[in-house]
Amino acid sequence: MTRIRATLVAVTAAAAALLAPLVAAPAANAHGWITSPESRQGFCAAGQTSFDCGEITYEPQSVEAPKGSLKCSGGNASFAILDDSSKPWPRTTTGTTVTFQWKLTAAHSTASWEYFLDGTLYRTFNGNNTQPAANIAHTIEGLPTGDHTILARWNIADTANAFYSCVDLHVVAGGTDPGTGGTPTSPGTPTTPTTPTNPGTCSAPAWSSSAVYLGGDLASYDGQVWRANWWTQGQAPSATQWGPWTAVGTC
C-alpha cells in the first residue's frame, strides 16, 4: 500500500509540473497590426519582401514592447529586422490623405493611438480607455509629398506596453487613399492632433561623436536631420550608401 501511495504522489507531482507553465504563462491581452497601407510586418507575413524577415513572418500581430519607443520593433529584439531601414521595404504610393487600417486579433482597452512621421509625432487619437473595434481605422490628412515612414504606436490602457507598426509610403499630390473602409474613429471621440512638424526641423539633438545611437534614433548634423539605421558610434552622418545613417530632412 505504501508503494502504491508513493507512486500516486509521484504521478500527481509530475502532472502538476507539466501543468504549471500553462497556468503561469500570461495570456496576451491584445494583438494587432496595420494592414492598409500594408505595414512592414504585413509584407513579411505575406512573403512580399526580397529578404528573409525571420520570426515576424509568422506573427505580424505580436510587435509588442514597452511604451515610448520610436523603433518599428518597439525595441523587441525578436523583431529587430523591422528597424533596418537599409532593407528594400516595399513602399505604397498614396495621396496626402491616408486611412490606416488596423487588424486586431484581440482588442484591448486603449489609451491612445500615436502616428509618427519620420520620427516626429504627427497625430494622436484618444482611445478613451475603451476597447476598439477589431477593424479600427484612422484617417490622417496633410501628409507631405515624398518618401516617408509612418510609425504607428497603439498604447494599451492598463499595461505598460504598446504595439508597433511601421508603414513605408511614397506620397504624391493627387494620389489616392488606399484605406479599406474599416471602422473609423468616431466623430464624437476627442482627438489630439499635433501641429504637423516638417520632418526637417532640427528638433533632434546635435550629433555627438561620443554618443551611442540605436536604430531609429535621430540626430541633427550639418543642417540636416538623420535617422540611425542600426547601432553606431563615432561615425558622422553622411549619405554614404549602406552607411549607418539616413537623411530624413533638411533644417
pLDDT greater than 60 at residue 104: yes
Put simply, whether the predicted model's pTM sits higher than 0.85 gets the answer no
β-bridge mates for residue 133, sequence order: none
Taking all residues of the chain, what is their mean pLDDT, rounded to a whole number?
Answer: 80
Residue 122: closest CA among 95, 82, 93, 151: 151
Of 126-140, 186-200, 212-226, 234-248, which one has max mean pLDDT?
Answer: 126-140
The dihedral region occupied by 51, where left means phi > 0, alpha psi between -120 and 50, and beta the remainder, is beta
pLDDT greater than 80 at residue 119: yes
pLDDT digit string (tens) for 158-215? 899 999 999 999 999 988 888 755 444 433 343 444 444 444 456 788 888 778 888 7
pLDDT digit string (tens) for 82-101? 999 999 999 999 999 999 99
Domains of the chain: 31-193 (2.70.50.50), 212-250 (2.10.10)
Confirm if 94 and 37 have CB atoms less than 8 A apart: yes
